[in-house]
Amino acid sequence: MRYICLILIIITTSCKSSKISNKSSGNASHTVPAGCGVDCMAQNELLKSFENIFYTKIDSSQLQIGINFFIVNREIESQLPTIQTNLLELNSLFEGSIEFRKHKVIRLESKYKLPTVYQDYLDGGQLFDELSREVAELGYINVFVMETLEETPGRKLHGFTPLYNDYHEGYAKVAPEMDRLMVSFEGLEFKYSLYHELGHYFSLAHPWELSEAQKLVLGLQDPQEECVNHMNYNCFVNKFTQQQLIQMKAFANRYRSYLGIRGAD
């Protein structure tokens, strides 16, 4: 049985983890300053292959990957400036490593909000697939942007990304099944959810899940570097390390090589 890890972003004041059916999720949650994103703890299995990935031969060419944005229940025109701002900053963060390009922006209708879709997914329901499976496009990252809500005071879900714990070869076999990310409008507006979720999508874990040796390899041995890193959430995050960029590109080349530009803007 293959286990799936769901990476999610939640703003909350408590911390917990859980396993549900054949899917596992953990919610790492802290009180954070305004504008900071927080999210779940990835499964440790995700880290097992990371040293081998990092030490693969470094490709000096820049990858080009297209992103489809699916806007749920809002007008496309209202979201185009936010999408463009996110792409500009994303490409600045990944400069020399991966270039992301907007492929399509499509409006969708749904009566559900992000927390409902996420919980239904955990429970083995079909809302996530009903919303995304038919429109997700092979060869692209498919980002679904939805409304969220405050489920309890100080607690909001801002995104999740389905991942395999220990079956990275499976991404290409089931694509675009595992190329669907969900973020909130708020997370997109404040420019933290998409960057963080893409970090998970390309294999990065949270700093507190890493051993000291792994932190050293990824350039996170300095507390300040760890604090402001996009995979953290206690500070005003603003960067990936160069080593993380190498790691993500190596993972993309090895396990997500089916992604590529086909007619992106």
Nearest to 199 by CA among 167, 165, 239: 239
Residue scoring higher pLDDT (231 or 265): 231
Q: What is the CA 84 to chain-centroid distance, rounded?
A: 18
Question: For position 59, what pLDDT does the model report?
Answer: 57
Query: Other C-beta atoms within 10 Å of 122: how many?
Result: 19
Give whichever of 11-15, 151-155, 170-174 has the largest mean pLDDT: 170-174
Beta carbons within 8 Å of 85's beta carbon, 6+ residues apart: 191
CA distances to 66, 183, 202, 237 from 141, rounded to whole Å, are 6, 13, 11, 23
Per-residue pLDDT band for 233 (boundaries 50, 70, 90) equals confident
The residue-averaged pLDDT of 113-140 equals 95
Q: Which of 11-15, 143-147, 224-228 has the lowest mean pLDDT?
A: 11-15
Q: Is pLDDT above 80 for 31?
A: no
Per-residue pLDDT band for 71 (boundaries 50, 70, 90) equals very high
Per-residue pLDDT band for 54 (boundaries 50, 70, 90) equals very low
Domain ranges in the chain? 4-255
H or E element that contains 238: none
Beta carbons within 8 Å of 129's beta carbon, 6+ residues apart: none
Q: Which residue has the tokens 């076999």?
A: 173
Distance (Å, whole) CA 229 – CA 193: 13
Question: For position 27, what pLDDT does the model report?
Answer: 31
Beta carbons within 8 Å of 143's beta carbon, 6+ residues apart: 67, 68, 69, 70, 181, 182, 183, 194
Q: Find out if CATH 3.30.70.360 is the number for domain 4-255.
A: no
Percent of the residues in the chain that have a pLDDT greater than 90, as a whole number: 65
Nearest to 160 by CA among 146, 176, 174: 146
Query: Other C-beta atoms within 10 Å of 114: how many?
Result: 28
Percent of the residues in the chain that have a pLDDT greater than 70, as a whole number: 75
- Look at the pTM and tell me if it is higher than 0.85: no
Please tell me whether residue 253 adopts helix, strand or coil conformation: helix
Q: Which of 7-16, 70-79, 201-210 has the lowest mean pLDDT?
A: 7-16
